[in-house]
Amino acid sequence: MSESVLKPESWVDLYADYLYNYALVRVSEPEIAKDLVQETFFAGLKSAVNFKGNATERTWLIAILKRKVIDHYRKINSKKGKAEVRMQYKSSYDNEGEWLEEQVADPDSLQENDAIENEELGLAIQECISKLPKKQSRVFTMKTIEGLETETICNELGINPSNLWVMIHRARAALMGCLNENWFRS
């Protein structure tokens, strides 16, 4: 369900904790995570006119935060930033790649100049996902790439939320190992 009207006055109450935890997992430094969330809210305000309601407010803010995390790593170490680049997921029913990044265009971002690297990383991620056990791969894809809700995934696969999060954690660890082995090697 998507909303077509943003409510920035409620962002802090509704999304700050979630966005902070999301950022903290990716940058591991509380102060930087706080800064990234603030930058996300600011960028959201600046690009609010681009919000078309193709996603929920939270999903839209997460897309902005993802770019902020990428930009953060690009500033300090370009190889770490590659790990956060969102691979272009295409399916016959979902064109989210056409709106997530374009709606929150950041003129200071270098992402637009890295299409080839992004494509190569996307292929490396797909290759690593294909090496995961089948159910782990499916859970990871459904949650992380397709953005499905936990309840939807659990109902479809007949698992409980604890199992889902264990599988996602294991998939992320395996993917990071695979990417470190195959993508980040000099």
Give which of 159, 87, 170 is closest to 132, Cα–Cα.
170
What is the pTM (predicted TM-score) of this model? 0.44
Average pLDDT, the chain: 75
Q: What pLDDT sits at residue 24?
A: 86
State mean pLDDT over 165-182: 86
Q: What pLDDT sits at residue 4?
A: 64
Distance, CA of 141 to CA of 106 (rounded, Å): 27
What would the two tokens of residue 131 be? 């090496």
Q: What pLDDT sits at residue 86?
A: 41
Q: What pLDDT sits at residue 183?
A: 66
Confidence of residue 119 (pLDDT cuts 50, 70, 90): low
For the chain, domains (ranges, CATH) are: 1-81+89-105 (1.10.1740), 114-186 (1.10.10.10)
Contact indicator for 27, 80 with CB cutoff of 8 Å: no
Q: What pLDDT sits at residue 133?
A: 93
